[in-house]
Structure 1
Amino acid sequence: MIEMEHFSKRIAEIRHRVEKACERAGRSPDEVNIVAVTKYVDTEITNQVMNAGCLHIGESRVQQAVPKWKQLGDRGTWHFIGHLQRNKAKDIVGRFEYLHALESLQLAAELDKRCAALSTKIKCFIQVNVSGEKTKFGISPAELNDFAGSMANFSHIELAGLMTMAPNTPDREEVRPVFRELRHLQKELQRQQFAVPHLSMGMSQDFEVAIEEGATFVRLGSILVGTSS
């Protein structure tokens, strides 16, 4: 119970900050979904986070994520938020509703095949490497139109939107152009009649800026659940 109260307080504080960011941007807080990134904590802590009311759960390590899902998967909405190798696609299909890191057509084909076998679908964010950092995954902005068009070939993939990761910097204003550019790319796709309703961007250090620039999913780890295994 102490743990649940601890996380309830953290979630309340974060929701207050979300509300303030939305107020600055003239948005409704109802537009913003908080994904608790639980990849560094165990199943019990993940359970406490869910008990405290955060039911969007983000994982990025298949070996740790699947056992958690087997115990808690029926309680919330599960997001796979990390780089996914094709040979691990079978482990998330049918378990995770969202994938935030679709960045190759080969992975899309594997996901589509696995989903077809289970008569299910998966909602995917196209990961765009807006910052151009070599250490980050994702397609380039120049590739986005063709990549999004190719999604029509995969009947079991539903485009959820776009995702990016900003540079890791203490200067929050330095990341604003990255988030703003992803929003611009979303608008360009929408003008071409692509259904890309959501933006997954913003983490513990920069989620308020991301919200001000249009994020609808923010991925919060250390600020919400901590980093201890």
Structure 2
Amino acid sequence: METLEQNIAIVKSKIGEAAAKSGRSPEEIHLVAVTKTVPPETVQKAVNLGITLLGENRVQEAGEKVDIVRGNVQWHLIGHLQKNKVKPAIKLFSMIQSLDSLGLAEEIEKRAGEIRRVMDVLIQINIGREETKSGIDADDAVEFIKKVSQLPHIKIKGLMAIPPFKEDPEEVRYYFRKMNDIFQNIKMMQIENVEMNFLSMGMTHDFGIAIEEGSNMVRIGTGIFGKRK
């Protein structure tokens, strides 16, 4: 418990430092605790310590935790979503951070419409153009967002990205800066049914740099819960 409490305090302190460097308040930065492989009882301890946003990579694993963990929390899907998992996903999550194709958007629209729900999503951008990662190419982002914005049961709330991993986080700064440029450009367009509220980028290894370059939502797993077994 003490270690978890200390980890959260350290992460929040680093968020505060990075926010100050970018001229913002720590309150503007949303901390998503990534609970992949973390048992529900440990997740509950984190919630009891003030964590309110929880991120899961897999729909099935979230389903095993959502009804167990108590408190005023929201669950975000941060991993790749397969179309055959959309129906349970829209019931479990308050936000899907990984919308990465028109086919997936159409399935979300269909399933959300069935239960008369508007699903909040972030558009995942493959900022490093890596073949191993999902996401929309940066050059296609505006056109894609305009298409998805026409779906009445989806609400675009911003962008998400996972840049290439580099041992030195400074080498990733370029990708974060590029993401923020895309984010600000789309925000200025004021596309109907699109709210550029969240720029979700930065994980345990590089979240300080991400915040300095404009991120207002970071996804931290190891930094809070320690290394996964």
Give the TM-score of the pair, scaled to structure 1.
0.95
Give the counterpart of 2:100 among 80, 103, 123. Answer: 103
Structure 1 letter corresponding to 2:205: Q
Any gaps of 5 or more consecutive residues in structure 1?
Answer: none
From 16, 19, 23, the counterpart of 1:19:
16
- 1:156 corresponding residue in structure 2: 153
Contact 1:159 1:196 in 2 (8 A): yes
Contact 2:97 2:122 in 1 (8 A): yes
- In 1, the alpha carbon distance for the partners of 2:203 and 2:37 equals 15
Q: Please list the CA deviations of residues 165-207 of structure 1 after superposition, one character each: whole Å capped at 9, or x if unmatched.
A: 0111111111001011111001111221132121000000000
Summarize the alignment of residues 1-229 of structure 1 with structure 2, pairs less than 5 Å apart. Answer: 3=1, 5-72=2-69, 75-194=72-191, 195-228=195-228
Letter in 1 for 2:140: E
Cα distance in 2 between the residues matched to 1:158 and 1:226: 33
- Taking the aligned partners of 2:143 and 2:33, their CA distance within structure 1 comes to 32
Q: What is the RMSD of the two structures over their aligned residues, measured on CA atoms?
A: 1.3
Of 189-198 and 94-103, the range deviating more from structure 2: 189-198
Q: Read off the aligned partner of 1:108 and give its amino acid letter.
A: A
8 Å contact 1:57–1:77 — kept in the other structure? yes
Give, in angstroms, the shift of residue 94 of structure 1. 2.2
- TM-superposed deviation, 1:7: 1.9
Which residue type is aligned with residue 182 of structure 1? M
Indicate conservation of the 8 Å contact 1:73/1:95, yes or no: no
* CA distance 1:82–1:170, shift in 2 (3 Å): same
Q: Distance in 2 between matches of 1:39 and 1:25?
A: 30
Return structure 1 stretches of 4+ with deviation > 4 angstroms.
Answer: none
Q: Which amino acid aligns with 1:146?
A: E
- Partner deviation per Cα, 1:113-159 (whole Å, 9 max, x = no partner): 11111121221110001111111110101111110101222111111
* Aligned residues with identical type, % of pairs: 37
Q: Higher mean Cα deviation, 203-212 or 154-163?
A: 154-163
Offset from partner CA, 1:65-115 (integer Å, 9 cap, x none): 111012226630110000000000011112201111001011111111111
Normalization by structure 2: what TM-score? 0.95
| Counterpart amino acid of residue 121 in structure 1 | V
Q: How many residues align?
A: 226
C-alpha contact 2:100 2:124 (8 A) present in aligned 1: yes
Give the Cα–Cα distance (whole angstroms) in 2 for the partners of residues 84 and 196 of structure 1. 21
Unaligned runs of 5+ in 2: none
SS across alignment from 1:72: coil
